Amino acid sequence: MSQHRQHYELQHQQQQQQQQTRRLRDLENLEAAVKLEQETQASEASRASFPANWPTQERTPS
């Protein structure tokens, strides 16, 4: 009986560890996604402001 209980507790611990590992991985993925999103927004912002830096005669077709 005690052996069975030990086995159950060990299994439970392993499950908890797996959940923690999965949660940690999800967090890392989330951080990576946020970073990627920020980089994308930054590059889009610089692309959007790029035409404003051009001389006006080039920007508007004459």
Domain ranges for the chain = 1-33
- pLDDT tens digit sequence for 1-60: 678 889 989 999 999 999 999 999 999 999 999 999 999 998 888 877 766 666 665 555
The per-residue pLDDT for 30 is 95
Length of the chain measured in residues: 62
The per-residue pLDDT for 15 is 93
- Residues 8, 14: Cα–Cα separation, whole Å: 10
Tell me the pTM: 0.52
The per-residue pLDDT for 25 is 96
The per-residue pLDDT for 47 is 75
> What element of type H or E holds 41?
helix 2-49
Q: ∠ CA 20-23-26 to the nearest 5 degrees?
A: 150
pLDDT band at 61 (very low <50, low <70, confident <90, very high): low
